[in-house]
Amino acid sequence: MTHLPYRLGSNFSSKNALVFFLVFFVISSSLIADPSARILFDFETKKDLATWTNQKLDNYTEPAVDIELSDKHVSHGKHSLKLSYNGGLWPTVFSEAISIDDWKNEKILNADITLSRDAVVCFRVMQEKSTRDNNWDGFAGRFERTALLKKGNNTLVAALCHKGDQKFVPKFGKVVRFEIALYDAKVGDSIYIDNIRLSPTDMSIQELPFSQLKGKMPNRGHHLFTVLGSNLKVKNITHLASELAPDWKMPTPRSIKELETEFKERYLEILKLNPNAKLAIFRDGQAGFNPKKPEQVYSAWRDTYISCHEPESMLTVKGIINYGKKPLQEIFMRHRTALMKADFSSVPKGSKVLAAEFVVCRTKDFEASRCEKMPNMWVMEACNRPWVETEVNAFQYARHRYWSNFSGRAWEGENPDSLPLFLAHGPGQGQVNSWDFTHAMKYWIEQEKPNYGFWLYGNSKDWFLRAHYRESKELASRPAIMLIYE
């Protein structure tokens, strides 16, 4: 049995601790020089090495990590710290030999790390008064960060004083413990760490990655989202919602039966002008998606839920969970989002999309819909990774294949995690929600763009506290795409 880097509710030596991961900015093959920096750990002597040991907590059963000095991948002095792994979910080492224990005036923590493969490395700092509890106070009392690192040399820049929930909090006392962990270690993995240091020099917001910005969405003007079916270019979902708010109308609730009846009536009207038109409904467990085999049951829908909530201690607990087989789960904002994909290979190449709708149902329990109270917006943002339903989480889209940023929140460059593209959008409608998906289907079927599915999320003015996913026992409530094509 493997465990998280810390055991929830366990006692930590003689003091309680604040667990926090550091906000990392990864700069491959580059070291950052700061004359004001002070060395926290430099791993030069056997005495330095002797202060490091494997994690010691109640119920901690990760495979032991081999700890040694090395003359390879040295960025300062003559030695680095080499950690060699024998597998494990979060194998962790720590030191309580803290040379600088008062961090109230520190702004940045740096570390130089070299890896033989892409990996997720975790640094954790413990303070006197914090706990390892998994309630909100425990989460808010820890500042944790993980680093999605690339193969080779990486210099990490960790902002300690960022506003919001992901910051170092001096009131929790002096630093008493420093931990290093590797996520989902492979047998034979090794990493090299050197020159862990602190700096009182702050960084501008323009130098920080998206994961350090409380807004959690792109807001630097580097790119705009294209909104299919319109001429709009927007910064994010909030911008889109503000643009369309004047046109918002109170929704008219519809049942699933009413919604599907209306779409089938629409199909009959389209048949009058397009006698070769076909109707397909892509819903897991339901027949009717393949006109050539009307009895065939559809089984190619994939969906999951991913949590990337701050503070970071929530991410290390919930972010590693795979929700690919959960029948009911929330759908909320981009940091608590659904990821969905439907296979359309039964639609012949060269087909023309005539109409399409995407349907999602909330459950009847928990909180009632907010959608009738105020203008709200939902979007379907294009994913750009071949994610695996039973392996994807906030760190990885498939096992040992990592997002560039948590939950695929990286939209820039030639090969981003997600595309700055809203495939579809619209307001919530209550229990049963449907959005025009015609342009999304044209994008995949007519333009033959790669189909990696989409993120479904809102702007917080509406909330599916529980929604039906493809494993729901209520077949008719499972998500679906209704398509008319020729």
Residue 366: the pLDDT is: 63
Measured between alpha carbons, how far is 142 from 19 in angstroms, rounded to an integer?
5
Q: CA neighbours within 13 Å on the CB side: how many for 22?
A: 29
Which phi and psi (to 5°) does residue 147 adopt?
-120, 115
Give the model's confidence band at 163: pLDDT under 50 very low, under 70 low, under 90 confident, else very high: low
Residue 152: the pLDDT is: 95
Q: Could you give the percent of the chain with pLDDT greater than 90?
A: 70
CB 126, CB 178: distance < 8 Å: yes
- Over range 200-217, report the average pLDDT: 60
**Cβ–Cβ contacts within 10 Å for residue 422, how many?**
27
pTM: 0.89
Q: Where are the beta strands (DSSP E) in 314-431?
A: 328-331, 336-342, 353-361, 378-383, 396-398, 401-402, 418-426
Selection from 254, 284, 264 nearest residue 434 by Cα: 254
Q: Could you give the percent of the chain with pLDDT greater than 70?
A: 88
- Over range 178-199, report the average pLDDT: 96
- Over range 467-478, report the average pLDDT: 97
Residue 208: the pLDDT is: 63
Least confident stretch, 73-87, 218-232, 415-429: 218-232
Measured between alpha carbons, how far is 30 from 204 in angstroms, rounded to an integer?
19
Selection from 439, 411, 412 nearest residue 423 by Cα: 439
Per the model's pLDDT, the better-predicted residue between 342 and 319 turns out to be 342
Give the model's confidence band at 334: pLDDT under 50 very low, under 70 low, under 90 confident, else very high: very high
Measured between alpha carbons, how far is 456 from 379 in angstroms, rounded to an integer?
6
The three-point CA angle 214-452-242 to 5° equals 40
pLDDT of 217 higher than 70: no
DSSP 478: S
pLDDT of 257 higher than 80: yes
Burial class for 450, CB neighbours closer than 10 Å (0-12, 13-18, 19+): exposed
- Over range 64-81, report the average pLDDT: 97
Burial class for 156, CB neighbours closer than 10 Å (0-12, 13-18, 19+): buried
> Given the DSSP bridges, would you call strands 418-426 and 225-227 parallel, antiparallel or unpaired?
parallel
- What are 333's two structure tokens? 């904002």
Give the model's confidence band at 394: pLDDT under 50 very low, under 70 low, under 90 confident, else very high: very high
**What structural domains and CATH numbers belong to the chain?**
23-211 (2.60.120.260), 226-485 (no CATH)
Residue 476: the pLDDT is: 97
Mean of per-residue pLDDT scores for the chain: 88
CB 18, CB 142: distance < 8 Å: yes
Which phi and psi (to 5°) does residue 154 adopt?
-135, 135
- Over range 298-316, report the average pLDDT: 89
- Over range 166-171, report the average pLDDT: 83
Measured between alpha carbons, how far is 65 from 185 in angstroms, rounded to an integer?
10
Measured between alpha carbons, how far is 84 from 69 in angstroms, rounded to an integer?
11
Give the model's confidence band at 166: pLDDT under 50 very low, under 70 low, under 90 confident, else very high: low
Measured between alpha carbons, how far is 209 from 212 in angstroms, rounded to an integer?
6
Measured between alpha carbons, how far is 98 from 101 in angstroms, rounded to an integer?
6
Give the model's confidence band at 222: pLDDT under 50 very low, under 70 low, under 90 confident, else very high: low
CB 84, CB 66: distance < 8 Å: yes
Measured between alpha carbons, how far is 15 from 128 in angstroms, rounded to an integer?
6
Longest Cα–Cα distance in the chain: 85
